[in-house]
């Protein structure tokens, strides 16, 4: 995900949330947003946020929902809903799963932004680079991912998010079986054979 202009994403259009529309409309707006955020994690490919500017409210939620986020040094991240009387409760779902609780709650309670470096320090973004290197760095990560097997990546991503919701024993039990299943994939065997034979793997995709 990328954007043009000084704002990465400012979240919902507040005009859609005025009293001119009814509760049913408001529900549809938030349900669609939640669907988009959860679909990102259900996609079989990694999703990268390339942030160059301000990401607020649902825009900050979008960054937190992506698998990887690369930000320019000028980027900022905030959940300022509390300041206009609409607490960022749905963004809090993604923030609370990406940031330490006290950092997330300070953002949610005050609406004050995190700098790119603070976002990196607390785990909201993966990497911070100068603005003129943002495209290059994001492309570099994308290309590295594309060198891997699509089926292995899909299995790995789905498994990662599944195990994150489980306790330690259940997570190890489930992922142990997934490792066994991974070996039965054509690309699982191809990768091991290529490593042993000291050659580049030829993936099935």
Per-residue pLDDT tens digits for 15-51: 667 667 677 877 888 898 899 999 999 999 999 999 9
What's the chain's Rg over C-alpha atoms? 19
What integer pLDDT is reported at residue 176 of this predicted model? Answer: 97
- Alpha-carbon gap, residue 9 to 158, rounded angstroms: 26
- Under 8 Å between Cβ of 87 and 108: yes
Residue 66 backbone phi and psi in degrees, to 5: -70, 160
Token duo for residue 111: 């609406």
Strands 54-56 and 7-9: parallel
Residue 173 backbone phi and psi in degrees, to 5: -65, -45
Fold of the domain spanning 149-197:
Lyase 2-enoyl-coa Hydratase; Chain  A, domain 2 (1.10.12)
CATH 3.40.50.880 fits 7-146, yes or no: no
Residue 12: pLDDT band by 50, 70, 90 thresholds?
confident
What integer pLDDT is reported at residue 21 of this predicted model? Answer: 66
**Domain boundaries defined on the chain:** 7-146, 149-197
Query: Directed axis angle between helix 150-164 and helix 168-184, to 10°?
Result: 170
What integer pLDDT is reported at residue 187 of this predicted model? Answer: 96
Above pLDDT 70, what percent of the chain?
96
């Amino acid at each position: 995900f990328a954007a043009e202009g000084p704002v990465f994403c400012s979240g919902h259009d507040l005009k859609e949330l005025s009293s001119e529309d009814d509760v049913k409309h408001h529900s549809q707006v938030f349900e669609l947003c939640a669907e988009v955020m959860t679909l990102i994690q259900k996609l079989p490919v990694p999703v990268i946020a390339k942030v160059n500017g301000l990401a607020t409210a649902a825009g900050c939620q979008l960054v937190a929902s992506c698998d990887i986020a690369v930000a320019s040094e000028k980027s900022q991240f905030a959940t300022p809903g509390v300041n206009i009387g609409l607490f960022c409760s749905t963004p809090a779902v993604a923030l609370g799963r990406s940031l330490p609780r006290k950092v997330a709650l300070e953002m949610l309670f005050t609406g004050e932004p995190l700098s790119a470096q603070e976002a990196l320090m607390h785990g909201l973004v993966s990497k911070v680079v100068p603005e003129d290197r943002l495209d290059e760095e994001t492309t570099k990560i994308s290309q590295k991912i594309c060198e891997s097997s699509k089926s292995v990546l899909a299995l790995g991503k789905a498994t990662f998010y599944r195990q994150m919701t489980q306790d330690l024993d259940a997570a190890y039990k489930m992922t142990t079986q997934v490792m066994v299943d991974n070996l039965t994939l054509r690309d699982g065997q191809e990768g091991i054979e290529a490593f042993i034979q000291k050659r580049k793997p030829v993936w099935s995709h």
